Amino acid sequence: MKQLIAIAIVGFAAVAALAQPYNVRGTFNGWGESPMNDDLDGTYSLTAGGLNPGDRHNFKVAFNDWAQSWPGSDARTAVNAGGAITFHFIPGAIADGWNPPQDRVGYDDPAMFGWEIQGAFNNWDENLDSAARQLTDMGGGLYSVDYTIAAPGTYGFKFRESFSWDISIGDNFGNSAADNQVTTTIANEIVRFELDLPNGRWRTSTVPEPATVFGLTAGGLALLRVLRRRG
């Protein structure tokens, strides 16, 4: 009987270890444990309330014992007008073409500031192309901008709150993470930059020229014009 009880205790301890909850830890709770809710769809969330609207807080998602935490560098966001922050966590690998490719930490849009891109494609110049770098609010915490990069190459960049480095998003969605990367292959290539705050992800993609959307090259368009004039 004692042996069965011992086995049961060991088994329970193993299950408890596997079921260790994810916590949000940050400056909003003194880096204590705020267990996240299992949303039953592979994601976790937590709304922390009673905070001062507009205050900024660093945070991570972590196990109880800090054995692992995400993102690698602290994430940072602002308290919304209702005095709350809603955090999200999507653990594991995710093959959807967005970045980071695994263990994404996000948050509901505080809707207190805009977003822009800043990077090596404009020499990190605060004054260059300011209006062109502003992302458009697409709703639901999704932001997007189409930006023309003059010369082909690979460029580091970050998303940041408009006109400030107080809150920025690097490659792992952390505030002081490494630069994101974007590569262009032709001159004046149009790149779409997208930022999805609740899902903790970002991506870039090239925007085809209007001609190529219809399967026509510049030469093909010129030939088509000649044929139309002859007709």
pLDDT tens per residue across span 61-108 = 999 999 999 999 999 999 999 999 999 999 999 999 999 999 999 999
What are the pLDDT digits (tens) for 31-55?
A: 999 999 999 999 999 999 999 999 9
Question: Integer distance in angstroms from the first to the last C-alpha of the chain?
Answer: 97
Give the residue numbers spanning the domain of 154. Answer: 115-207
Whether the predicted pLDDT of 59 surpasses 50? yes
Secondary structure tally for the chain: helices H, strands E:
3, 16
pTM of structure: 0.84
Domain boundary among 107, 135, 152: 107
With respect to residue 10, please indicate whether it lies within any of the assigned structural domains.
yes
Using a 10 angstrom Cβ sphere, with 0-12 exposed, 13-18 middle and 19 or more buried, the burial of residue 29 is middle
Domain boundary among 89, 107, 125: 107
Same structural domain, 102 and 86 = yes
Same structural domain, 91 and 128 = no
CATH number at residue 47: 2.60.40.10
For residues 71 and 177, is the Cβ–Cβ distance under 8 A?
Answer: yes
Indicate the SS3 state at residue 12: helix
For residues 171 and 177, is the Cβ–Cβ distance under 8 A?
Answer: yes
Question: How many Å apart are CA 138 and CA 146, to the nearest integer?
Answer: 13
